[in-house]
Chains A and B, each alone.
Chain A
Amino acid sequence: MNSRLIKYIILEIIAIIIAIFWLIPLYSMLINGFKTNFEATATPVLFPPKVFTISSYITVWGEMKRPLINSIIIAIPVAFISTIFGEMAAYFFYVTSERMPAVSNTGFSIISLATFIPYQATLLPLIELEASWGLFNSYQGLIFALLIFYMPTAALLMSIFIPVIPKYLIEAARIDKASDWTVFWKVVFPLTIPGFLATMIFVFIESWNNFFMPLVLTSSPSLRLIPVAERAFTGGYGTLYNDSYAAAVIASIVPLVVFIILGRYFIKGLAALGGGAKGV
């Protein structure tokens, strides 16, 4: 028994040491925004500040405020619209998967394609399409572009979560001649709320963090989203790292807080992509 306990402790220590390495970037992001300009030029990024100041946050806030609001305006509707319509499509595929397996196979392949395709590869036609529909450089244009990829992502995730519902519940409702619409709202939706939340949080974090779409689809500074705005503080001449890290904290505070509070849902979403709804 004792030797087993010692083995556990050794394993825990190994895990903790590796986890500490994993946390170094987060640690350096969190401490360095509080350094004074003087400390940022003279002390290394791994040492905590001697004097705490929020002057860096004040410096970068002016440029990060608008992008922060923009990101909220974009990411919340994208997450919500994607998930609700994605779940409807997932239910459709679920219903057709027995009657017409070819249809659901094709549908599932297409939504997987939209989920995992390197979205950068649609750059040229996407810009042409948005330009010809008058969507380029607008909130609607950004939301539209993100929906192209994230609504199928949500449909894919919900396709994985829906089959967890006991089959007889859906069948019973359908035998009672309830319409698909009623079955969806009365049976499927209430029973998949955890999956719905997992999907919505997953899509929210993904669209919040998307750097490429706002980079190529907007040109005016007033439409800048947070990952793009933050790049202005990457470094190079004239930028001190306390400002970089303060900007990094402002850019990631929302997804990080969501991750800390509702992380199990985000992880559930990730796990579903790799192992079905049972996951971890």
Chain B
Amino acid sequence: MAIPTLFFSGVLLYLVAWNIYLSFLNWSLVSRIPKFVGFGTYSYLLHQYFFKIGAMHSAIFSLGLIAIGNPLGIFLAGILYFLPNKFRTLMVSIFLYPLAISMATNGLIWTWLFNLHLGVDYALRLIHLPTIPWLTTPTTTIGALFLVEIWAYTGLAVLFYLASFMGVDKSIIEAARIDKAGGFKILFKILIPNSMNGFIVSTALLFLFSFRLFSLPYVIGGGPTNLNLMTLVTYLYYLFYSEFFSASAATSVIVTVVATAVIIPYALYGIKRWIRRE
């Protein structure tokens, strides 16, 4: 019964293994007949300016999303927790709708919103606020992508924290209410301390989704070569198309290792809590 899934999972493991093998060669446009070079390709990569830039951007986009998405998720979930059911469901849908749209489409929508003449800057000028040069300077380009990222993925954190809050025993909340505890007290003294699960899964999934960002930097940056938005994932794509095959494979291996270091603990945590229900 499990054969089809095992087959496709097996293909995935095979692809990962193949990447590892290719990363130990020096296969590229200039060396058509690949030779085994051990960690040669990796040490080549570590000296590449683009690699350093890509690693830095990947770190900014993933750690930044964790740093902003978690508190924002707690804040919004904290508000929604105290509101009526129907309203809460509607709000959760609004915070999650970006995930129902392709990130390529989201990128396209935002690219026009960042337009200096016709985008949000027009409205800012209208109410005499300083305008932002969005996609025209390196720092604001990163900031712009970061903004889109927060818009796209914070809904996940809201959802997970809300689920954690709802999981807290209602009788504890009622008891606190009888003791005249206000909303803030309930949130900080009861809900947040009992939301370890929300924190763990939000952090893990925000990291994993932002670490594999490809469409947003690709579309907003106008292709994979935009240095301001190059991440490890767009860099490996760029290396592949410029035919540095082994370097691309080595970058892939690094990306896979980092992601796996988060995925396996998540999986073991999940199986314990949600499947065996210990």
Chain A residues within 8 Å of B, Cβ to Cβ: 7-8, 11-12, 14-15, 18-19, 22-26, 28-29, 32, 43-46, 81, 85-86, 88-89, 91-94, 97, 104-105, 107-114, 116-126, 128-129, 147-149, 151-152, 155, 159-160, 163, 180-181, 184, 205, 208-212, 216, 226-228, 230-231, 233-236, 241, 244-245, 247-248, 251-252, 255-256, 258-259, 263-264, 266-267, 270-280
Interface residues of B in 237-272 (CB under 8 A from A): 237, 240, 245, 248-249, 251-253, 255-256, 259-260, 262-264, 266-268, 270-271
How far does the alpha carbon of A208 sit from the alpha carbon of B101 in the complex, in Å? 9
A28 with B83, Cβ < 8 A, contacts A108-B267, A126-B15, A234-B108 known: no
Contact A152 B215, beta carbon cutoff 8 Å: no
Contact B5 A112, beta carbon cutoff 8 Å: no
A242 vs chain B, min Cβ distance (A):
10
Q: Which listed residue (B111, B159, B237) contacts A274, Cβ 8 A?
A: B159
B105 at the interface (CB under 8 A from A): yes
B145 vs chain A, min Cβ distance (A):
14
A256 with B76, Cβ < 8 A, contacts A22-B95, A121-B236 known: no
How far does the alpha carbon of A271 sit from the alpha carbon of B101 in the complex, in Å? 18
How far does the alpha carbon of A32 sit from the alpha carbon of B111 in the complex, in Å? 14
Contact B263 A116, beta carbon cutoff 8 Å: yes
Query: Can you list 25 A-B contacts (CB < 8 A)?
Result: A15-B76, A19-B95, A22-B95, A28-B113, A110-B12, A113-B267, A117-B16, A118-B259, A120-B252, A121-B251, A121-B252, A122-B16, A123-B248, A124-B22, A125-B14, A151-B5, A160-B275, A205-B100, A227-B105, A245-B109, A273-B205, A274-B202, A278-B163, A279-B163, A280-B166
A53 vs chain B, min Cβ distance (A):
18
A72 vs chain B, min Cβ distance (A):
15
From B30-38, B47-55, B63-71, B114-122, give the one contacting chain A: B114-122
Q: Which listed residue (B107, B205, B236) contacts A120, Cβ 8 A?
A: B236
How far does the alpha carbon of A154 sit from the alpha carbon of B219 in the complex, in Å? 28
B93 vs chain A, min Cβ distance (A):
5
**What per-residue 1/0 map shows which CB atoms of B77-101 lie under 8 Å from chain A?**
0011011000101011111111111
How far does the alpha carbon of A22 sit from the alpha carbon of B201 in the complex, in Å? 23
A117 vs chain B, min Cβ distance (A):
5
Q: Which listed residue (A29, A123, A181) contacts B109, Cβ 8 A?
A: A29
From B136-144, B168-176, B206-214, give the one contacting chain A: B206-214
Contact A85 B5, beta carbon cutoff 8 Å: yes
Q: Which residues of A contact B160 (CB under 8 A)?
A: 271, 274-275
B4, B89, B120, B240: most-surrounded residue (chain A CB, <10 A) = B4
Contact B83 A180, beta carbon cutoff 8 Å: no
B59 vs chain A, min Cβ distance (A):
14
A7 with B15, Cβ < 8 A, contacts A113-B263, A231-B104 known: no
With A93-B275, A216-B237, A273-B205 given, name 10 new contacts (CB 8 A). Answer: A43-B118, A45-B122, A89-B2, A117-B212, A118-B256, A205-B99, A212-B215, A235-B112, A259-B100, A263-B100
Q: Which residues of A contact B6 (CB under 8 A)?
A: 89, 107
B156 at the interface (CB under 8 A from A): yes
Interface residues of B in 1-53 (CB under 8 A from A): 1-2, 4-6, 8-9, 11-16, 18-19, 22
How far does the alpha carbon of A275 sit from the alpha carbon of B8 in the complex, in Å? 26
Q: Which residues of B contact A155 (CB under 8 A)?
A: 5
The 3 lowest CB-CB distance pairs between A and B, nearest first, are A276-B274, A89-B5, A118-B212
A129, A264, A273: most-surrounded residue (chain B CB, <10 A) = A273
Q: Which residues of B contact A25 (CB under 8 A)?
A: 98, 106, 109-110, 113, 151
Contact B159 A271, beta carbon cutoff 8 Å: yes
Q: Which residues of A contact B1 (CB under 8 A)?
A: 88-89, 91-92, 180-181, 184
How far does the alpha carbon of A134 sit from the alpha carbon of B252 in the complex, in Å? 24
Contact A270 B159, beta carbon cutoff 8 Å: yes
Contact A227 B248, beta carbon cutoff 8 Å: no
Q: Which listed residue (B93, B105, B166) contacts A251, Cβ 8 A?
A: B105
Contact A275 B164, beta carbon cutoff 8 Å: yes
Contact A114 B9, beta carbon cutoff 8 Å: yes
Contact B5 A256, beta carbon cutoff 8 Å: no
B39 vs chain A, min Cβ distance (A):
18
B128 at the interface (CB under 8 A from A): no
Contact A124 B215, beta carbon cutoff 8 Å: no
How far does the alpha carbon of A270 sit from the alpha carbon of B205 in the complex, in Å? 10
Contact A114 B270, beta carbon cutoff 8 Å: no
Contact B212 A119, beta carbon cutoff 8 Å: yes
How far does the alpha carbon of A180 sit from the alpha carbon of B2 in the complex, in Å? 12
Q: Which residues of B contact A272 (CB under 8 A)?
A: 274
Q: Which listed residue (A8, A151, A205, A266) contacts B82, Cβ 8 A?
A: A8
Q: Which listed residue (A26, A89, A275) contacts B198, Cβ 8 A?
A: A275
A45 with B119, Cβ < 8 A, contacts A160-B274, A251-B102, A266-B100 known: yes
